[in-house]
Amino acid sequence: MKLTADMSTGSAAVEVFKSLLPPEDLFGFAERRNPKRAFIFVSKVLGRYVPVCPLVMRQTYRDLATQLPGDLPGPVLVVGMAETAIGMGAGVHDALNRSDALYLPTTRHPLGADMLTRFTEDHSHATHQLMHLPADPNHRSMLMNAQTLILVDDEATTGKTLHNLAHALHAQGISPQNIICTFLTDWSAGKAAAAVASVFPMADVRSIALASGRYSWTPSNNVAPHALPPDIAEQGSYDLSRVPDWGRQGITQNSRMLHAGVQPGRRTLVLGTSEFVWQPFLLAEDLAQQGETVEFAALGRSPIFKGLMITDLIRCKDNYGLGVPNYLYNVDPAAYDRIILCIETPPDSVDPTLINTLQPEVLSIYA
C-alpha cells in the first residue's frame, strides 16, 4: 500500500509494508516550516497534533508493550524522545508494569540539576536534546546497569537521531544487552535499528511499531526554504515545578498530580504543554473513566503549515519564557464545553492570547 501527499516544497510518499491498523487510521501528512525536513507524519493516535480520546491513546501504549518480549532482563531503561514522544514513552513504561523499569526521557528543558548527556536531533526545528541524571541513587544505579534499553519515538525515517542518542548513552558507560526501538510508525526500512546496532554491536537490537515501511521525499525545484524558529534548549524566565518530578530526573512509578471536577456527558478537551503531557493525559483518562466525553491534545514547538492534516492553527508564546513560538493544531474551541490547560510553570506564564482564544481552566502543578 502506498500513500502520498503533495506539498509546496515537494511530494512525500510512504510504502506500507505492514500495519496493525489501517494506515489511514494511524497517520496523515502535513508540511513543516523546516528547510531541513519539509514534511511531517501527523499521528492520529498520539494526542499531540490531533485531539484523541485518551482510551485510544492508552490502547496504543498497550499495543506497543504487548510486542515487547516478556523475558527482557532488567533493569530496564525506557527513554521517550522529546518533545513529541515523551507521553508515549511514559505510556509504554507504564504498560510494562515492571518495578525494575526506569523512565528517563530526553528533554529540551534543563533543570539546573546534574546532567547525564547531550546529543543532537539534526533534522529537527530544535536540534539540542539532553538528559538529566536521576536524583535518586537507586535510579542512578538502574540507569547505569540497565540490561534492556527501550527507545521510544513517534516515528522513524533515517535513524540518525537514535544513533546520536545511542552514541551519547554509550559514551556514559551504559551498555544494555537488549535494545528495542519502539515507534508508532517506522518508515526507516530497518535503518533505525541498524543505526543503533552500529553503536552497540554486541547487543540484540530490534524494532517494533504499529506500522512500518519505507518513505520517500521528492523535492520541488525553485522553492524558497522555510525559516526555522529559535533553536533553544535552556532554562527560561519561568521556573519549572520539580516537586514531585514527573520524569525528567527518572521515575519508576506514576503519581497523579492533576484533578478536576467531573460532569458526566460534558465535552472536555485536556491540553498538555510542551513536554508536560503525561500528567495531563492521566487527568484526561480519569475524566473519561468517570463519564465525561474527553479528548486530549498538546501545544508544542513543531511549526507546521495549515493544510492537509492541519485544519486549525493557534499560535502563542511559550509558557516557559523562552521566546519560542508554541502551536496548537486541529482544535476548535467551540467544539467543547470545557478546555483544561495543564502547565508545569506558574499560572501567570500562559500567553494572554491563548487564554482569550480558549477561555481555559488552567491547572498548574507549579510549587
Would 18 be classed as within a structural domain? no
- Top pLDDT among 122 and 223 is at 223
Q: How many Å apart are CA 216 and CA 316, to the nearest integer?
A: 32
Same-domain status, 205 and 296: no
pLDDT for residue 255: 84
Same-domain status, 199 and 339: no
pLDDT for residue 239: 83
Domain that holds residue 155: 60-210
Confidence of residue 128 (pLDDT cuts 50, 70, 90): confident
pLDDT for residue 222: 62
pLDDT for residue 227: 61
Tell whether the model's pLDDT for residue 224 goes beyond 70.
Answer: no
Would 136 be classed as within a structural domain? yes
Domain limit, last residue, from 186, 210, 234: 210
pLDDT for residue 229: 60
The mean pLDDT of 359-363, rounded to a whole number, is 97
Tell whether the model's pLDDT for residue 230 goes beyond 80.
Answer: no
Confidence of residue 231 (pLDDT cuts 50, 70, 90): low
The mean pLDDT of 269-284, rounded to a whole number, is 97
Same-domain status, 206 and 272: no
Same-domain status, 204 and 283: no
Same-domain status, 74 and 199: yes
Model confidence over 170-180: pLDDT tens digits? 999 999 999 99
Same-domain status, 204 and 73: yes
Would 17 be classed as within a structural domain? no
Domain limit, last residue, from 173, 191, 210: 210
Same-domain status, 199 and 283: no
Q: Into how many domains does the chain fold?
A: 2
Tell whether the model's pLDDT for residue 254 goes beyond 60.
Answer: yes
Model confidence over 156-169: pLDDT tens digits? 999 999 999 999 99
pLDDT for residue 122: 53
The mean pLDDT of 310-329, rounded to a whole number, is 95
The mean pLDDT of 11-34, rounded to a whole number, is 94
**% of the chain beyond a pLDDT of 70:** 94
Would 100 be classed as within a structural domain? yes
Domain limit, last residue, from 210, 231, 258: 210
Q: How many Å apart are CA 170 and CA 175, to the nearest integer?
A: 6
pLDDT for residue 125: 46
pLDDT for residue 108: 93
pLDDT for residue 53: 98
Same-domain status, 200 and 272: no
The mean pLDDT of 215-220, rounded to a whole number, is 92
Would 257 be classed as within a structural domain? no
Confidence of residue 123 (pLDDT cuts 50, 70, 90): very low
**% of the chain beyond a pLDDT of 90:** 84
Would 342 be classed as within a structural domain? yes
Same-domain status, 77 and 162: yes
Same-domain status, 173 and 272: no
Tell whether the model's pLDDT for residue 233 goes beyond 90.
Answer: no
Give the 3-state secondary structure of the chain.
CEEEEEECCEEEEEEEEEECCCHHHHEEEEEECCCCCCEEEEECCCCCCCCECHHHHHHHHHHHHCCCCCCCCCCEEEEECCCCCHHHHHHHHHHHCCCCEEECCCECCCCCCCEEEEEECCCCCCCEEEEECCCCHHHHHHHHCCCEEEEEEEEECCCHHHHHHHHHHHHCCCCCCEEEEEEEEECECCHHHHHHHCCCCCCEEEEEEEEEEEEEEEECCCCCCCCCCCCCCCCCCCCCCCCCCCCCCCECCCCCCCCCCCCCCCEEEEEEECCECHHHHHHHHHHHHCCCEEEEEEEECCCECCECCECCEEEEECCCCCCCEEEEECCCHHHCCEEEEEECCCHHHCCHHHHHHHCCEEEECCC
Same-domain status, 150 and 279: no
Give the CATH number of the domain where residue 337 resides: 3.40.50
pTM: 0.94
pLDDT for residue 72: 95
Would 343 be classed as within a structural domain? yes
Give the CATH number of the domain where residue 109 resides: 3.40.50.2020
Same-domain status, 278 and 344: yes
Would 93 be classed as within a structural domain? yes
